[in-house]
Structure 1
Amino acid sequence: MTQIRQTPAALAGSAAVFPPEEFRARAAALQDRIRREGADALLLTGPENVFWTAGRQTAGYFAFQALLMPAEGEPVLLVRQLEETGARADAWFADIRTWQDGTDPAAALAELVRGQGVQRLAVERTGWFVSPDMMARIEAALSGVSLCDGSGWTESLRAVKSPRELAALRLAAGYAEAGMTAAIETCRAGASENDVAAAMMSAAISAGSEAMAMEPLVSSGPRSGIPHATWRRRRLEAGDGVFLELAASHDRYHAALMRSVWIGTPPETAQRMMDTSLRALDAALAAMRPGAPCSAPHEAAQREIDAAGFTAAFRKRAGYSMGAAFAPDWGEGAILSLFTGVDTPLAPGMVFHLPITLRDYGRFTVGVSETVILTETGADPLSSLPRQITLR
């Protein structure tokens, strides 16, 4: 019989993106919240929250995983058996349990929770990766355990980044700039959207980027006037606008960047829109000061857009938080938005992407963005790439 080697002890923590003290500080802050809320433990299922707390990252998060963070002591991670080796390489703690294909992970979770003596369990109700069916199975398996809503407890701690997180974001921004530079240089009549996307991704990855939480956005001509359009083999022609946006990644921390290109001379309306986008971005960045509400940058940008008569071309928030991300989204928009009515005060260490786009829907989009770190004195953009529309 062939002997299957167990995971080597030397592998433990070898792939962690940060040293254990970074994660222990996060765990301590989260446990303080758990105790203040009167829960015995918090159950995390979102891949970003599991990563932030445990260091665990994998492309296999489509299979159920859960992190049980007790009010006292070290966490316990439950993963699919195939994921155990990777989990041990990532995690800063030793207690990792598994469920086997063909078994019910809800039952394995219930066994873990009951084995830990948890009587009042806080659960993320807003997690993307637990289906209503799975949640119903978990609730049935945990019959007798009091469940409360722990949504947002971890996210509130993720909003302000540590120095190590900020360093990762700065590296990611450099990869994004490399990708954007290559994409702009590839834009020319006769090149295809695929050529542009390939150049963008190749340069970002060659610069150092890991897997991106969402594909880049590359579209041209009339398709550039469709939000979130991606490349589809179309060849660029004279007179086309080209819309480019990507986020690159370092240790799962993402920084995004958007720029616009025109093949030839843009029409007068497109140029006015672009000039308005630039003024709106400048206004938003100027409004980013510690203590100001998250609504302030949006309202500053909106005033510039309204004054130029392009209100209907901009019906969205001015920005969103950035940090650790997994597909399908490169941003942390569920944590913080720069938008009307968001009163959360800006604080040093917060990171935002501000994509200011104006659209003539179905005809073209122009826009510009920056990922910025908020410092004691204001917004620090992470890119040095020129912001004006590039003419090719």
Structure 2
Amino acid sequence: MHEFAHMQGSEAAFRQAEFAERQTRAGRAVREAGFEALIVTSPETIYWLTGRQTAGYFAFQALILPTDGAPHLLVRRLEKPGAVANTWLADIAAYEDGEDPAEALARLLGALGIACPAMELGGWFVSPLLAARIAASLKLEALPDGSTLLPPLRAVKSPAEIDAIRRAATYAEAGMRAGLEACRAGSDENAVAAAMLGEATRAGSEAMAMEPLVSSGPRSGLPHMTWRRRQLEAGDPIFLELAGSHARYHAALMRSAWIGPPPAEARRMMDCALRALDAALDAIRPGAPCSAPHEAAQRVIDADGYTAAFRKRIGYSMGIAFAPDWGEGALLSLFSGVDRPIEPGMVFHLPATLRSYGVWTVGASETVVVTPTGAEPLSSLPRACAIL
């Protein structure tokens, strides 16, 4: 890395000590699992351990995490200068375009004297074919799976991580306010999306791991729809959701709106969704299981007869995110059967939505930080359905 040494850490998101502490905890987890090293492949976990971030993570990258000592990073040659600038790592290897990254990884492992590492096999960015090539390059029938070792370590955020999420929440709120202000008859979904993206970016947001969700009219009753040039009309329901991003840490926010008075049934559903959200927030307490907020919300929804309009978890972890998802929902959910105790420093997004499918969606969400006494919402935006 000698030719780029002058850039080391110049683009790092946090102090070197923050990453060193994470690496120490991660190495201990690998050692306690009985492995000599772990090959980390998910961009979120590589970032959590090192600060490595780029829009070029579509190209193979791997972090070799030994049980003791500093990690070793392998990236595409084009990505090496950015990897040096993003991280405090002293050992960054590169493979050339046209070179098989599986063979490059095997050579690096051989040079380090690592014969049978575990590997994150459950992520989105390593195909079964590539994993098989890596194993073959190491002359192994298969690599042990270490996918479950590090995600639990990311669930409780450090003060530096929480500060980043708080900043992201201010960007999301700025974008949501602008989106609501842009909702009026005669405008269109693209104008609303542009307002949300523009204001969140002006407020400070970096690239978001997923685009804002903007849908109106009957489209608003379909999950995860986004803008398609539809013109807004009097009587339309509107669904808006976005996340702000600071140093790859995300905070999300969702609101619903109506151009003109909502129908009586929509008002009843909105009232139910807001009471369910309140119940879930009240149930977030250190020591309570992660299932408790979901079950509290579900009781409210079931009692009002809207079970079929919900059919999902009440929330999920928030933190580091790369496309295609702005949440850490694969890391930790607020849902039935999730027994992990809630701890101070966890961060969750709770979207309390009820749908009349293909007709409308109503509800609101909050990103919250778990404190020693409960849940602290990071938005001051009113939750009631905005009547425009």
Q: Normalized against structure 1, the TM-score is what?
A: 0.98
Q: What amino acid maps onto 1:217 in structure 2?
A: L
Cα displacement string for residues 293-349 of structure 1 (whole angstroms, at most 9, x for unaligned residues):
000000000011111111100000000000000000000001100000111100000
Structure 2 match to 1:224: 220
Q: What is the CA–CA distance in structure 1 between the aligned matches of 2:148 and 2:155, rounded to whole Å?
A: 11
Partner in structure 1 of residue 234 of structure 2: 238
The one-letter code matched in structure 2 to 1:122 is: A
The 3-state SS of whatever aligns with 2:344 is: coil
Deviation at 1:153, TM superposition (A): 1.3
SS in 2 for 1:370: strand
The alignment partner of 2:151 has SS state of helix
Task: Find the counterpart in structure 1 of residue 173 from structure 2.
Answer: 177
Match of 1:36 among 32, 37, 42: 32
- Quick one: which amino acid aligns to residue 29 of structure 2? R
Kindly provide the amino acid, as one letter, of the partner of residue 215 in structure 1.
Answer: E
User: Partner residue of 2:308?
Assistant: 312
Q: Deviations over 1:364-385 (max 9, x none)?
A: 1011000000010000000000
- Separation (CA, whole Å) in 1 of partners of 2:266 and 2:138: 57
Would you say 1:21 and 2:24 are equivalent positions? no
Matches within 5 A, 1:1-392: 7-144=3-140, 147-392=143-388
CA shift for structure 1 position 8 = 3.5
Any conservation in 2 of the 1:121–1:146 contact (CA below 8 Å)?
Answer: no
- Name structure 1 gaps, 5 residues minimum: none
Quick one: distance in 1 between partners of 2:130 and 2:5? 33
Q: Distance in 2 between matches of 1:41 and 1:181?
A: 47
Question: Contact 2:349–2:368 (CA<8 Å) still a contact in 1?
Answer: yes
Displacement of 1:73 in angstroms is: 1.0
Q: CA deviation at 1:142?
A: 1.3
- 1:26-45 Cα distance to aligned partner (Å, 9 max, x none): 00001111111111111000
C-alpha separation in 2, matches of 1:116 and 1:110: 10
Q: CA deviation at 1:147?
A: 3.0
| Runs of 4 or more above 6 Å deviation | none
Q: 1:200 to 1:227 in 2, by over 3 A?
A: same
User: Post-superposition shift, 1:143?
Assistant: 1.0
Q: Using the alignment, how far apart are the partners of 2:142 and 2:97 within structure 1?
A: 28
How much has 1:118 moved relative to structure 2? 1.0
Following superposition, the deviation at residue 144 of structure 1 comes to 4.3
CA deviation string 1:170-206 (max 9, x = no partner): 0000000000000000100011000000000000000
Structure-2 separation of matches of 1:340 and 1:297: 9
Query: TM-score when scaled to structure 2?
Result: 0.99
Once residues 147 and 6 of structure 1 are traced to their aligned partners in structure 2, the CA distance between those partners, rounded to angstroms, is: 33
- Structure 2 distance, partners of 1:343, 1:184, is 37
1:70 and 1:297 map into 2 onto residues whose CA distance is 37
Listed one character per residue, the Cα deviations across residues 33-86 of structure 1 (whole Å, up to 9, x for unaligned) are: 111111111100000000000110000010000000111111100000000000
**Residue 6 of structure 1, CA deviation:** 7.3
Alpha carbons 1:283, 1:300 under 8 Å: kept = yes
Instruction: Map Cα deviations across residues 106-139 of structure 1 (whole Å, 9 max, x no partner).
Output: 0000001111111331111211101111111111
CA contact (8 A) 1:78 1:96 kept: yes
SS in 1 for 2:253: strand
Structure 2: gaps spanning 5 or more residues: none
Greater shift, 312-321 or 131-140, is seen at 131-140
User: Distance in 2 between the 1:261 and 1:341 partners?
Assistant: 33
CA–CA distance in 2 between the matches of 1:229 and 1:6? 47
Paired-residue identity, %: 64
Letter in 2 for 1:237: E
Q: How many residues align?
A: 388
Q: Secondary structure at the match of 2:150?
A: helix
Farther-moved stretch of structure 1 (29-38 vs 161-170): 29-38
Please tell me whether the aligned partners of residues 135 and 142 of structure 2 are also in contact (alpha carbons under 8 angstroms): no
Tell me the alpha carbon deviations over residues 214-240 of structure 1, each in whole angstroms, 9 at most, x when there is no partner: 000000000000100000000100110
CA distance in 2 between counterparts of 1:109 and 1:267 reads: 60
Q: Which amino acid aligns with 2:239?
A: F
